[in-house]
Chain A
């Protein structure tokens, strides 16, 4: 993981990296990549350039470009069919973009597999919560951490090597408990995830995403179908985590939520980015009002 990487060797690269992301990526690609990998913050961690996704004759995303700043809570809004979810799927490797490039921490991640992108520290949640219903909440969480020793079948089975696995599992179990407490779902630890309510599943999804130790989390409508009390709780958690240095990109339908919580807002319309700016700028943008005709901004 890049977060635990900074060491003496990299200090020279760090200075170079400060302005590196502004360069043309083609210019000195490998140097930029190398430098950016070891910089936990500074420069936009996520940059999307000219993203296009076509499904047959339908263009779902049409030349979308935007950046997400490090440590920010950025909102992505747009009417239904604006291409928000498809953009998400292209960023996280679920779909391969027809054209365009996605950079994460300066590195071109276009066309990588979802698990490769997740391993780089870019993790997502799903619009419809995808809990692993026949696993307990605790198991759901303990699945997430990257590079566990016991993910090797040989280590899991061989008598001499299993000791280290058990040790790591003990630490993981404690971390999972702490994460559950943070999201106030520790009372559900032994419940099968399939028995959780809709809102609890959303909390579980976010907790699970955090257990991967990500740099950045993409939240796909985390508040859809969540009651107001739980919504408050979820937003509090997101703000807490942002204060800890996590970067969030939030897709949401609810304009009030976006306007009240996100310092930057990206508006998508018909597959491309219509406007980008602070909540106030967006609120007063003629084109945005037009796109959302009839909606009260």
Chain B
């Protein structure tokens, strides 16, 4: 039984395996990665980096670093959101398919709170400090989660799914409505911007590098970094370097999310969550207040989704309801959790990174590179490409139309994963729900097995 092998403990470093005379260097690396969660995540990232570098190295260092920045950013934000969803769905079995809505509420609340009351363009805001705005965004997402959960948790699981999906669409359409925008402007003095969306407050990370937050003069730190890596050094564009600075912030948040959720999972609270997922009636019959725990989980998860929304879309300059907060976003986050292995926090991080880099960005990047290598004219239609019976022309057509094919690819990968590893990459690792190590009985009783 695979569950019997020691669940990867982040404490056990790769050093433990080093003594065991590995057969090859790659074998040793793979072993070490399996031993340590951090190693596994970093190893996966490095593998993705290696492939991405191979795809773009002909375009120069700036393109390589830029692509790595995009992939890492997407990987981290998907990982953050997947962790929040894993708490609700993976641990507790609460089927929340309104992730996009909670993220939208988080980022919009933050924007409305922080934007200046009299901006040059776009809707007015309340002019509050950024930390207050972030807390308000999390609070509002949590509040909406509680409102959704209270009636829905009394019903069966499927109804929660319908309620959350409906709610996320209501959120999106409300944010898009100019009537709602005007209403908010008149009542609280901050608007949503309707269909045109709103500009996000300046990212404080930019302020670390640039004096006025825009294309202005660098700060001392900026000068140092730009001097080494930028135009005067390795020639990497400044916006990419600032992007890497923000990635460091995201990574810190990811570690924070992970630690909080691991502690929550490895506790009596975590046991109750798992018991609710497995069999609500049993948890209830053993004296656990099932509804209260569900509401708590929902509120915590939605607050984290709100924060993930802020960290993700709040850093993108402008948010608007419709392309960004469609239910498709929720669907993507679910795929990340599924391929990582629901119920495992490390799996969610890994799933987020793999989904974003390999499934989401991968096909387009690979397609573009392949297209660059093909010296052929693109057939005008699929029929033409097929009838030509020329594999090169067909490939040219396929790589030029990679966006729709991406979904085919996504579907194939999902089918493959569900067939080969129905529980996801790390789904066989069922994480212990206790604050102490259960694998061995401490001194006092006879040892087991």
Contacts and interface: CB of A to CB of B under 8 A. Distances in A.
Instruction: Please say whether chains A and B are actual partners in one complex.
Output: yes
Interface of A: 92, 94, 113-115, 118-119, 123-124, 126, 130, 132-136, 138-139, 142-144, 146, 148-153, 155-157, 162, 165-166, 169-170, 173-174, 177-178, 181, 186-187, 189-192, 195, 208-209, 212
Interface string B433-446: 11110110110110
B304 to A, nearest CB: 12
A208 B286 contact: yes
A139 B267 CA distance: 11
B286 A144 contact: yes
A146 B288 CA distance: 8
A139 B287 contact: no
A72 B179 CA distance: 70
B281 A142 contact: no
B281 A139 contact: no
Nearest to A173: B436
Contacts of B432: 136, 139
Contacts of B449: 187, 190
Contacts of A134: 274, 277-278, 343, 430
Given A114-B285, A143-B275, A190 B269 contact: no
Contacts of B445: 174, 177-178, 181
A148 B282 CA distance: 17
Interface residues of B, number: 44
Given A152-B269, A153-B300, A166 B435 contact: yes
Given A132-B279, A143-B271, A152-B269, 15 more contacts: A92-B285, A94-B285, A114-B281, A118-B285, A123-B285, A139-B432, A139-B434, A143-B268, A153-B264, A157-B260, A157-B263, A174-B442, A177-B445, A187-B449, A190-B4
Nearest to B266: A156
B267 A150 contact: yes
- Ranked nearest first, the 6 interchain pairs of A and B with the lowest CB-CB distance are A156-B267, A118-B287, A150-B268, A132-B278, A148-B268, A150-B267
Given A151-B269, A156-B435, A189-B448, A132 B285 contact: no
A246 to B, nearest CB: 16
Contacts of A191: 1
Interface in B140-155: none
A193 B279 CA distance: 13
A53 to B, nearest CB: 17
Contacts of A146: 287
Nearest to B297: A153
25 contacts: A94-B281, A115-B283, A115-B284, A115-B286, A118-B286, A132-B275, A142-B438, A150-B268, A150-B269, A155-B267, A156-B264, A156-B435, A157-B260, A157-B264, A165-B267, A166-B436, A169-B435, A170-B442, A173-B434, A173-B436, A174-B444, A174-B445, A177-B441, A192-B430, A212-B287
A257 B260 CA distance: 51
B108 to A, nearest CB: 26
Nearest to B435: A169
Interface string B239-253: 000000000000000
Given A153-B300, A173-B434, A174-B444, A130 B270 contact: no
Contacts of A126: 282, 285
Contacts of B288: 115, 143, 151
A136 B286 contact: no
Contacts of A136: 432, 438
What does DSSP make chain A's interface, helix, strand, loop or mixed? helix
A245 to B, nearest CB: 20
A194 to B, nearest CB: 9
B9 interface: no
Contacts of A148: 268
Nearest to B279: A130
B271 A130 contact: no
Given A114-B285, A115-B289, A192-B3, A135 B272 contact: no
A135 B286 contact: no
Contacts of A94: 281, 285
Contacts of A186: 448
A169 B284 contact: no
Contact of A119 (B269, B287, B430, B442): B287
B285 A165 contact: no
A80 B298 CA distance: 42
Nearest to B267: A156
A173 B267 contact: no
B296 interface: yes
A96 B436 CA distance: 39
Nearest to A211: B286
Given A118-B285, A123-B285, A151 B438 contact: no
A138 B436 CA distance: 12
B286 A212 contact: yes
Given A115-B289, A119-B287, A212-B286, A156 B438 contact: no
